[in-house]
Structure 1
Amino acid sequence: MSVLERITVNPRQCGGRPCIRGMRIRVSDILDLLGAGAGPDDILRDYPDLEREDISAALLWAARYVDHPRLSA
């Protein structure tokens, strides 16, 4: 499984926002926790269904998202 395959989007779940492996844990939840100073071990302790690779996938997804070119007319 590619790391980014851990990120799923389902229009019927979480308003279509990217989630981790079909769970109701959004990529933005992981990023918010990291941004607030939580470390990967803290997140894994609070969310036992997550795996370390899920956190890596969320970070990689975010990096790719913000690096997406935008065209202006």
Structure 2
Amino acid sequence: MTALERITVNSQQCGGRPCIRGMRIRVSDVLDLLGAGVEIDTILADYPDLEREDIYAALLWAARYVDHPRLSA
């Protein structure tokens, strides 16, 4: 499984927001925790179904999401 394959989007789950491996853990939840200064090991302890690679995948997804051109008229 590649890093970005760990990020799933299902219109029937979490309002169609990107989640980690089909679980109800949203990419934004992971990013919010990291942005608040929570360490990766703490996140992994609090969410035992998460894997370290999931957190890296969330970061990669966010980097790709914000790094695309936007055209405006």
TM-score bin (small chain): over 0.9
After superposing on structure 2, the runs of 4+ consecutive aligned residues of structure 1 that deviate more than 3 Å are: none
- The count of aligned residue pairs is 73
**In the alignment, what sits opposite 2:41?**
41
Identity of aligned residues (%): 85
- Any stretches of 5+ residues in structure 1 without a counterpart? none
* Partner of residue 58, structure 2: 58
Segments of structure 2 that go 5 or more residues without pairing to the other structure are none
Q: What's the offset of the Cα at 1:62? A: 0.3
Query: How much is the aligned-residue C-alpha RMSD, in angstroms?
Result: 0.4
1:32-51 per-residue CA deviation (whole Å, 9 max, x = no partner) reads 00000101101000000000
Question: How far apart are residue 68 of structure 1 and its match?
Answer: 1.4
TM-score in terms of structure 1 length: 0.98
The normalised TM-score by structure 2 is 0.98
- Show the counterpart of 1:14: 14
* Distance in 1 of aligned mates of 2:69 and 2:7: 20
Q: Secondary structure at the match of 1:15?
A: helix
